[in-house]
Amino acid sequence: MNSMAHFIETEAYRTLTKKEQLVYKRKLARVQNVYGGVKDLVTKPDLIIVVDGEMQSKFADELQKTKVDNILICNTNFSRWRKEDSLIIANVLSYKSIDFVLRNILS
């Protein structure tokens, strides 16, 4: 993310066409929207909750490598093996289902 923001300030960015610049700025905006909060973290979080572990499979793989406690909320089509205490099977397409699971976890 930092390298993308730095690239906008370089001469190479100015040589791109207007359309390429627009596409690059949109991509940077999406990245900042998704990862913006992580950039400002000072310490490791105590717990990470991932909704839709199938869609976020690369992130779930990275979480396995870290020492941070994590919980994956997944649909029934989740095919990867996980520890039973860190996997919750639920309907991730329903807001009410996710709300119910998160309220019970955080209470």
Greatest pairwise CA separation for the chain in angstroms: 53
Distance separating alpha carbons of residues 78 and 53, to the nearest angstrom: 7
Rounded CA separation 89/36 (Å): 28
Residue position matching structure tokens 């209470």: 107
52-83 tens-digit pLDDT: 766 677 777 777 777 788 888 888 777 666 66
pLDDT tens column, 16-39: 999 999 999 999 998 888 777 777
Domain ranges of the chain: 2-39, 47-106
Contact 56, 64 (CB under 8 A): no
What predicted TM-score, i.e. pTM, was given to this entire model? 0.56
* pLDDT score for 53: 66
* pLDDT for position 85: 65
| 81: its two tokens | 């093996």
